[in-house]
Amino acid sequence: MTHELDWSGLPFFLAVARSGSLRAAAEMTGATHATVNRRLQALETAYGVRLFDRTRSGLSLTDAGEELLPQAEAAETVIVGARRKVEGLDQEASGRVHLSVPPFMAYEFLAEPLARFAKRHPRIDLRLTVTNRIQDLNRAEADVSMRVAFEVDEDVVGRKVAQFATATYASQAYLDEHLPNAGPLGEGLHWIGWGERKRIPDWMRASAFPKAEKRHWVRDGIMQTELVRAGLGMANLPVYVEQLYPELQRVPGCKVELGRHIWLLLHSDLRRTRRIRLLVDFLAEEMKALRPVFLGPLA
Q: DSSP letter string over 29-90?
A: HT--HHHHHHHHHHHHHHHTS--EEEETTEEEE-HHHHHHHHHHHHHHHHHHHHHHHHHTT-
The span from the CA of 158 to the CA of 141, in Å, is 16
The 3-state DSSP class for residue 91 equals coil
pLDDT of amino acid 1? 42
Residue length of the chain: 299
Q: Which helix (H) or strand (E) covers residue 103, if one does?
A: helix 103-105
The span from the CA of 15 to the CA of 36, in Å, is 9
Which CATH number is 93-299's, of 3.40.190.290, 3.40.50.300, 1.20.1290.10, 3.60.15.10?
A: 3.40.190.290
Contact 269, 84 (CB under 8 A): yes
The span from the CA of 157 to the CA of 66, in Å, is 32
The span from the CA of 155 to the CA of 139, in Å, is 12
pLDDT of amino acid 2? 42
pLDDT of amino acid 25? 82
Domain boundaries, the chain: 7-87, 93-299
Please report how many Cα atoms fall inside a 13 Å half-sphere around the Cα of residue 213, on the Cβ side.
9
pLDDT of amino acid 135? 58
The span from the CA of 237 to the CA of 193, in Å, is 10
The span from the CA of 288 to the CA of 265, in Å, is 16
The 3-state DSSP class for residue 121 equals coil
β-bridge mates for residue 248, sequence order: 171
DSSP 154-194: SSSEEEEEEEEEEEEEEEHHHHHHHGGG--TT-TT-EEEEE
Contact 190, 169 (CB under 8 A): no
Nearest to 132 by CA among 119, 157, 115, 149: 149
pLDDT tens string, the chain, 299 residues long: the values are: 444 556 777 888 888 888 888 888 888 777 788 888 888 888 888 888 888 888 777 888 888 888 888 887 777 776 766 665 555 445 566 888 989 999 989 999 999 999 999 999 999 999 998 888 765 555 557 789 898 888 887 767 888 999 999 999 999 999 999 999 999 999 999 999 886 655 667 778 888 899 999 888 888 889 999 999 999 999 999 999 988 998 999 999 888 999 899 999 887 776 778 888 999 999 999 999 999 999 998 86
DSSP 272: T
Q: Which helix (H) or strand (E) covers residue 196, if one does?
A: none
- In CATH, the number for domain 7-87 is 1.10.10.10
